[in-house]
Amino acid sequence: MILPIAAALGLSLAVTEAAEFIAAFVLGVRREGWPVVFLVNLMTNPPYVLLILILGYLLPKPAIMLIMVLCEFAIFMVEAFLYRKYLKAFSHPYLLSAAANLASIAAGILVSQLR
């Protein structure tokens, strides 16, 4: 049971980091901001994925979908706050958070369709 959860967490984090780094780069975040992007995703992605994996065993799919939407909104807000606080050279933290999370969601959907 632990190995599949660890694999899911690792894959999700890798896909999220890649997608959000690309979005950040396209929006103008450069090398000095990359550690912030990495750490923000490291802080938000694993707890979210673990929560969804656990609840997936306990709740029906419609409830999980609602929880996912609510969590994604919360993650958007937390990441935007952290980007505003720690990416001083970047002036559009909400745009970055929205674009990065949309890229991550799209990449996650794509990867799940390929599996």
In the predicted model, is pLDDT for residue 42 greater than 90? yes
Number of domains in the chain: 1
Tell me how many degrees the CA angle 49-95-9 measures, rounded to the nearest 5. 15
Across the range 86-115, mean pLDDT stands at 93
Say what the pTM is. Answer: 0.91
Residues spanned by the domain of 65: 2-114
* Long-range contacts of the stretch 74-83 (C-beta < 8 A, 24+): 75/44, 75/48, 75/101, 76/101, 78/44, 79/40, 79/41, 79/44, 82/36, 82/40, 82/43, 83/36, 83/40
In the predicted model, is pLDDT for residue 78 greater than 90? yes
Tell me if 97 sits within 8 A of 83, measured CB to CB: yes
In the predicted model, is pLDDT for residue 3 greater than 70? yes
